[in-house]
């Protein structure tokens, strides 16, 4: 089926070349980082994870978000999703590959990565994260490919594949739960040490993932003559709405616990993220604009995707609404959550993190690589779709 | 007869089991009596206090804060000795910083003990902090490759050749004791000590309680450097007759953030 990715119009190739440019820049930047060390990033011994790990965390959510199509279709037999579950599965593959690239970019000794396999350590959450991420990647690749092949031959998919389809559903939940457990099981990091981290991650994932799929579906409708169907889009928007509100509810609960209990440790990071944290006469607030951006974009997005006129009558507004939600939760989880957790340090000092250009270009390059893979996968899926119709 | 036999077997079996379990409990109690219960003041986490093995050493350190307040040069001496022995690089840029033992204020070492009306000496002076060599170390739990591990004598060590540089241990350490080699450290080591490896870029490192010296029967470098003052005392917490246990018996000591249940092996005389 790969041959479908090799035929396309000029725009297709221009888009791939555009992404390829950023990938090439990132490759050069990565080589620089590889030979110098992670000192080329803005990370320090106090903020020891930066945008690589925060992107990884966010993208695990995007990958898990695909299950919001798979679950209604296969468990509840919601037929309208039939045409687009493949979009969810392929988005999961691209997101997981981005996750792995971000992990590799973040490792101080990438060539030793296999040590995680050679010395399996069940008491480390990172070990389990590796297991579920690889598991979910393989499941999605397998299910996506087998079902698409069957579709192309216009036969029913083989029965055995359903075992893996159903297995992929708990796996989707597990990848983001285990990713949350990387953070919420660490003593002494008050902001992360919260039982609501995993549910919050899942809620924002189930909004951000489908939001991206809606945006993709709307774009594909214009550029690839692929219509996901009104009913499918509408149902997805409903899912996004509830999941997004659930995420905001959980964020609100964090605020309540911190500020009503008034325990300094529980408030510090929230203060730092949203209002700026005063320490020895200096106010540290470099993440404040991002967090208010998150709140504002959420409000804009939720208004656009719930108001009947913008939701049902105009694809552009709907797309913008979903993009706002996606971007809002990227700011929340892909910036604020991970970086904020390091402030203040265990010795109650404040060190702010600013990514370097080298680091930012690598990050952009990994995103570009993800969209490159996604474009090719979607091209194949839609190629098959058109072949059947013809 | 059958029932009798069955009953006999039941009783015999049960008593054997009880005997086995019972002796285990007794053994545990006997050995436990001599062990330092490095438990927390609040009693949280005492259930984690299970000592490694009967008769095993468990190394710990007592830091006399007052002596460091009185003589600030002690801190410099300890740091210098440590960083010299372990080829710890000296970076000019603070973002690259690597430290095994360093001086900090009380409020930074003990942020869980805030006090609006601190005495002047505590507010202005500095004291040394280092890896706590916890009995229940979160870093060891987090490491995905066992590159950081607990020796049988309680020292938390690092395998610089296995570490993949994921820095999960740095996020997990509630004391900020760990540093990362953001770049090649070798050009920044003034005098290389050939008896201890220098590190490569991309791995985590921290105080190792001078495990290479201790296991050869010597004292840690920092303790040796300030030995005249007795400001740092190192010893076996599991030996009730050791010097460190005598000090712990006499002086009121505190540990850094003990409520986390990590059971630090470093004690401070305030």
User: How far does the CA of residue A58 sit from the closest CA of chain B (Å)?
Assistant: 17
Domain of residue B56, residue span = 35-269
Report the CATH number at residue B122: 3.30.70.20
| Minimum distance, in Å, between the CA of residue A346 and any CA atom of chain B | 5
Name residues 151-170 of chain B within 8 A of A (Cβ). 162-168, 170
Which residues in chain B touch residue A106, judged by CB atoms under 8 angstroms apart?
A: 166-167
Which of B35, B33, B62 is closest to B239 using CA atoms? B35
Mean pLDDT of chain A: 94
Residues B136, B156 contacting (CB under 8 angstroms): no
Mean pLDDT, residues A57-80:
93
Q: Measured between alpha carbons, how far is B79 from B220 in angstroms, rounded to an integer? A: 12
pLDDT at A278: 93
Contact A44 B203 (CB under 8 A): no
Say which of A37, A109, A348 has its CB closest to residue B184: A37
Q: Chain A within 8 Å of B174 (Cβ-Cβ)? A: yes
Higher pLDDT, A388 or A139: A139
Is B15 domain-assigned?
A: no
Task: Answer for the pair A336, A273: CB distance below 8 angstroms, yes or no.
Answer: yes
What is the spatial distance between Cα B216 and Cα B196, in angstroms, rounded to a whole number? 13
ipTM for the predicted complex: 0.91
Kindly report the nearest CA distance between residue B164 and chain A, in angstroms: 5
Give the number of domains in chain B.
1
Q: Which residue of B has its CA nearest to A263?
A: B112
Angstrom distance (rounded) from CA B217 to CA B63: 21
pLDDT at B23: 47
Cβ-contact B34, B242 below 8 angstroms: no
Q: Are B66 and B205 in contact (CB under 8 A)?
A: no
Which residues does chain B have within 8 Å of residue A183's beta carbon, measured at their own beta carbons? Answer: 171
The residue of chain B nearest to residue A193, with distances taken between CA atoms, is B172
Whether B99 and B204 have beta carbons less than 8 Å apart is answered as no
Mean local confidence (pLDDT), A16-26: 97
CA A213 to chain CA mean position, Å: 12
d(CA A304, CA A169) in angstroms, rounded, equals 30
Is residue B3 very low, low, confident or very high in pLDDT (cuts 50, 70, 90)?
Answer: low
Out of A36, A103, A182, closest to residue B183 by CB: A36
- Nearest-Cα distance to chain A for B212, in Å, is 24
CATH code of the domain containing A258: 1.20.1630.10
Chain B residues with CB inside 8 Å of A109's CB? 163-165, 200, 202-203
| Minimal CA separation from A334 to chain B, in Å | 17
Torsion angle, alpha carbons of A230, A235, A236, A241, to 10: 130
Q: Mark yes or no for CB contact B107/A38 under 8 Å.
A: no
Nearest CA in chain B to A39: B182
Q: Counting beta carbons within 10 angstroms of the beta carbon of residue A129, is it exposed (0 to 12), middle (13 to 18) or buried (19 or more)?
A: buried
pLDDT of residue B55: 66
- In whole angstroms, what is the distance from residue B270 CA to residue B109 CA? 12
Pairing of strands A282-284, B179-180: unpaired
Task: Count the domains in chain A.
Answer: 1
Read off the pLDDT band of B39 (50, 70, 90): very low
Residue of B nearest to A131 (CA): B144
Q: Do B142 and A126 touch (CB under 8 A)?
A: yes
Q: For residue A298, what are the domain limits? A: 2-389
CB pairs A-B closer than 8 Å: 145
Which pLDDT band, with edges at 50, 70 and 90, does B56 fall under?
A: confident
Which residue, among B223, B251, B261, B252, has the nearest Cα to B38 in the 3D structure? B261
Q: What pLDDT does residue B6 have?
A: 59
CA–CA gap between residue B72 and residue B112 (Å, rounded): 24
Q: Judge: A348–B183 Cβ closer than 8 Å, yes or no.
A: no
* For residue B74, pLDDT beyond 90: yes
DSSP E strand stretches across chain A: 277-279, 282-284
For residue B49, is pLDDT > 50?
Answer: no
Q: B214 at the A interface (CB within 8 A)? A: no
Q: Which residues of B touch A38 (CB under 8 A)?
A: 165, 180, 182-183, 201-202
The string of pLDDT tens digits covering residues A254-291 is: 999 999 999 999 999 999 999 999 999 999 999 999 99
Of residues A2 and A28, more confidently modeled: A28
* B28, part of any domain: no
Residues B17/B22/B27/B33 CA torsion (nearest 10 deg): 160
Closest among A202, A212, A201 to A236, alpha carbons compared: A212
On the question of pLDDT at B227 being above 70, the answer is yes
Question: Kindly report the CA angle at A214 between A208 and A219, in degrees rounded to 5?
Answer: 130
B203 touches chain A (CB under 8 A): yes
DSSP A66-106: THHHHHHHHTS--GGGGGTHHHHHHHHHHHHHHHHHHHHHH
Domain for residue B30, yes or no?
no
pLDDT attached to residue B42: 40
Collect all residues from A whose CB is shorter than 8 A from any CB in B: 36-39, 41-46, 48-49, 103, 106-110, 112-113, 115-116, 118-119, 121, 123-127, 130, 182-183, 186-189, 264, 341-342, 345-349
Residue of B159, B164, B173, B185 to mutate for A, most A C-beta atoms under 10 A: B164
Look at A112 and B162 and tell me if their CB atoms are within 8 Å: yes
**Domain membership flag for residue B178:** yes
Find the CB nearest A119 among B109, B145, B181: B145
Q: What is the reported pLDDT for A39? A: 95
* Long-range contacts formed by A165-171: CB under 8 A, 24+ apart: A165/A70, A165/A74, A166/A74, A166/A75, A167/A139, A168/A67, A168/A70, A168/A136, A168/A139, A168/A140, A168/A143, A169/A67, A169/A70, A169/A71, A169/A74, A169/A75, A171/A132, A171/A135, A171/A136, A171/A139
Burial of B55 (0-12, 13-18, 19+ CB in 10 A): exposed
Q: Give the gap in angstroms from C-alpha A186 to the nearest C-alpha of chain B.
A: 5
pLDDT band at A96 (very low <50, low <70, confident <90, very high): very high
| Span A10-18, average pLDDT | 95
- What are the structure tokens assigned to B52, written together? 């490694």
Q: How confident is the model at residue B9 (pLDDT cuts 50, 70, 90)?
A: low
Q: Tell me the mean pLDDT in the region A148-155.
A: 91
Q: What is the mean pLDDT of residues A139-145?
A: 93
Chain B hits for A347, Cβ within 8 Å: 104, 108-109, 111, 129, 175-176
B26/A106: higher pLDDT: A106
Residues 219-258 of B with CB under 8 A from A: 257
CB contact under 8 A, A48 and B171: yes
Residue B260, domain member (yes or no): yes
Geometric angle at alpha carbon A273, from A268 and A279, rounded to 5°: 50
Extract long-range pairs of B46-50: CB within 8 Å, 24+ residues apart: B48/B135, B48/B136, B48/B261, B48/B263, B49/B135, B49/B263
pLDDT number for residue A7: 86
Contact A126 B144 (CB under 8 A): yes
3-class DSSP assignment, residue A321: helix
Q: Is the pLDDT of residue A61 over 80?
A: yes
Neighbours of A11 (CB within 10 A): 10
Please give the full DSSP string across A23-45, using - where no structure is assigned.
HHHHHHHHHHHHHH-GGGSS--S
Q: pLDDT tens digit string along B146-179?
A: 999 999 999 999 999 999 999 999 999 999 999 9
Give the pLDDT confidence score for residue B207 in this predicted structure. Answer: 96
């Amino acid at each position: 089926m790969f041959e479908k990715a090799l035929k396309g119009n000029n725009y297709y190739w221009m888009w791939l070349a555009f992404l390829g440019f950023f990938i090439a820049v990132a490759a050069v930047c990565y080589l620089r980082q590889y030979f110098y060390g992670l000192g080329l990033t803005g990370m320090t011994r106090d903020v020891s994870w930066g945008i690589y790990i925060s992107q990884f965390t966010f993208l695990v959510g995007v990958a898990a978000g695909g299950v919001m199509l798979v679950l209604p279709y296969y468990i509840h037999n919601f037929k309208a999703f039939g045409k687009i579950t493949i979009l969810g599965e392929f988005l999961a593959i691209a997101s997981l590959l981005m996750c792995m690239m971000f992990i590799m970019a973040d490792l101080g000794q990438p060539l030793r990565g296999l040590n995680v396999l050679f010395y399996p350590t069940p008491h480390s959450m990172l070990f389990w994260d590796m297991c579920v991420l690889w598991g979910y990647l393989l499941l999605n690749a397998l299910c996506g490919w087998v079902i698409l092949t069957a579709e192309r031959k216009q036969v029913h998919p083989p029965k055995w594949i359903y075992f893996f389809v159903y297995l992929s559903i708990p796996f989707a939940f597990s990848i983001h739960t285990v990713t949350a457990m990387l953070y919420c099981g660490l003593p002494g990091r008050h902001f992360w040490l919260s039982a609501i981290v995993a549910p919050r991650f899942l809620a924002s994932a189930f909004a951000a993932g489908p939001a991206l799929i809606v945006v993709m579906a709307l774009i594909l409708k214009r550029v690839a003559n692929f219509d996901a169907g009104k009913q499918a889009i509408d149902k997805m928007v409903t899912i996004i709405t509830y999941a997004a509100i659930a995420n905001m509810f959980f964020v609100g609960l964090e605020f309540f616990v911190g500020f009503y209990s008034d325990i300094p440790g529980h408030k510090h990071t929230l203060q730092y993220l949203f209002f700026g944290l005063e320490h020895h006469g200096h106010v540290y607030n470099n993440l404040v604009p991002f967090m208010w951006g998150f709140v504002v974009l959420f409000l804009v997005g939720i208004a656009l995707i719930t108001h009947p006129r913008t939701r049902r009558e105009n694809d552009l507004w709907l797309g913008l609404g979903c993009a706002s939600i996606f971007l809002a939760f990227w700011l929340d989880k892909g910036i604020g959550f991970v970086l904020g957790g390091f402030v203040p340090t265990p010795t109650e000092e404040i060190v702010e993190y600013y990514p370097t250009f080298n680091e930012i270009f690598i990050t952009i390059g990994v995103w570009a690589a993800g969209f490159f893979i996604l474009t090719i996968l979607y091209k194949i899926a839609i190629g098959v779709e058109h072949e059947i119709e013809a | 007869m059958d029932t009798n036999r069955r009953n006999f077997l039941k009783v015999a079996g049960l008593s054997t089991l009880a005997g086995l379990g019972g002796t285990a409990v007794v053994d545990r109690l006997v050995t436990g009596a001599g062990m330092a219960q490095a438990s927390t003041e609040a009693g949280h986490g005492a259930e984690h206090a299970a000592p490694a093995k009967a008769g095993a050493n468990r190394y710990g350190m007592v830091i006399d804060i007052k002596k460091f307040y009185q003589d600030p040069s002690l801190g410099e001496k300890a740091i210098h000795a440590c960083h010299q022995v372990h080829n710890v690089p000296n970076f000019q840029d603070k973002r690259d910083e690597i430290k095994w033992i360093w001086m900090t204020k009380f409020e930074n070492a003990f942020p869980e003990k805030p006090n609006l009306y601190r005495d002047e000496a505590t507010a202005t002076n500095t004291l040394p902090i280092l890896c706590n060599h916890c009995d229940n170390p979160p870093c060891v739990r987090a490491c995905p490759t066992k590159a950081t591990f607990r020796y049988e004598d309680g020292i938390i060590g690092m395998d610089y050749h296995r570490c993949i540089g994921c820095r999960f241990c740095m996020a997990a350490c509630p004391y900020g004791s760990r540093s990362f080699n953001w770049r090649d450290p070798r050009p920044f080591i003034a005098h290389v000590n050939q008896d201890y490896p220098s590190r490569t870029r991309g791995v985590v490192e921290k105080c190792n309680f001078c495990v290479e010296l201790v296991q050869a029967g010597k004292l840690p470098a920092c303790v040796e450097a300030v030995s005249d003052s007795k400001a740092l005392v190192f010893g076996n917490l599991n030996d009730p007759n050791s010097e460190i246990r005598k000090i712990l018996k006499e002086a009121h000591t505190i540990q850094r953030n003990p409520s986390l249940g990590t059971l630090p092996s470093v004690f401070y005389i305030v």
